[in-house]
Amino acid sequence: MREYYTLKVASFNQVGGTGMDIQSIQPIAPEGYSLGGGVFDLQTLDDSGAMSEQFLYLTKVDDGVAKDGWYNDDGETISTKVFKCGEGFMYNNSIGAEASLQFSGEVNLDAVTIKTPEYYSLIGNIRPTDMSIQNMIPIPPEGYSLGGGVFDLQTLDDSGAMAEQFLYLTKVDDGVAKDGWYNDDGETFATKVFDPAEGFMYNNSVGAEASLKFQTIVAE
């Protein structure tokens, strides 16, 4: 994990259940660096893109028992947050060096469709392998248009500002359908590849709740 901000996603289901417990997401500091003290935090965003919740990773001892883990932003209450599969978050590594983030759970390799609310949400690649942007297909509700850029997604730089933007467009070129994700010029077919658990900010401005389909992974 690079320093500062990245977008990540809950790519696993908790073993024996649904969703991913925040406590099954484990930051790992390199040798010589402290793990606790809130140098790792993660944030969820509301539909305007503003911070909704914040969680801090702390190392504590209570009555001789280790209480290391994610805490709510009061620094006192151990978090019980559960992320739905595909739900993303903004992750901040302010340790001063590159670190790691370990996930534990079960992966669904079949086609998966998740709900996307109106406006902004944080989601991302739910697969344990790289995934092309073209393997993620937005699905509008009946009666709503798919193209025209009503679906877009954005990646962020390490300050939290937008780095890249992609638009979903429906096009025909020489009689051949060219529906898919385009770079923000609206002309160049996107070749973006997302790393495992890499997140992005997803904007659904179709005017209603929609869905995003992750296509089936085919074993090589």
Residue labelled with tokens 């389909």: 213
| 134 backbone dihedrals φ, ψ, rounded to 5° | -75, -10
Judged by DSSP in three states, 143 sits in coil
CATH class of 112-214: mainly beta
Domain boundaries, the chain: 4-103, 112-214
CA dist., res. 32 & res. 35, Å (int): 10
Q: Is 15 within 8 Å of 78 (Cβ atoms)? A: no
Residue 81 sits at the vertex; the CA angle it makes with 156 and 209, to the nearest 5 degrees, is 60
- Nearest alpha carbon to residue 7 among 204, 217, 159, 208: 159
pLDDT in tens, the chain (220 residues): 688 889 998 877 766 667 889 998 999 999 999 888 999 999 998 887 788 999 999 998 877 777 899 999 999 999 999 998 888 999 999 999 999 988 877 777 778 888 999 989 999 998 888 899 999 999 999 999 898 999 999 998 888 888 999 999 998 877 777 899 999 999 999 999 999 889 999 999 999 999 999 987 655 4
- The predicted model scores a pTM of 0.79
Tokens of 202: 């997803």
For 145-186, give the DSSP string.
-S-TTSEEEEEE-TTSSEEEEEEEE--EETTEE--EEEETTS
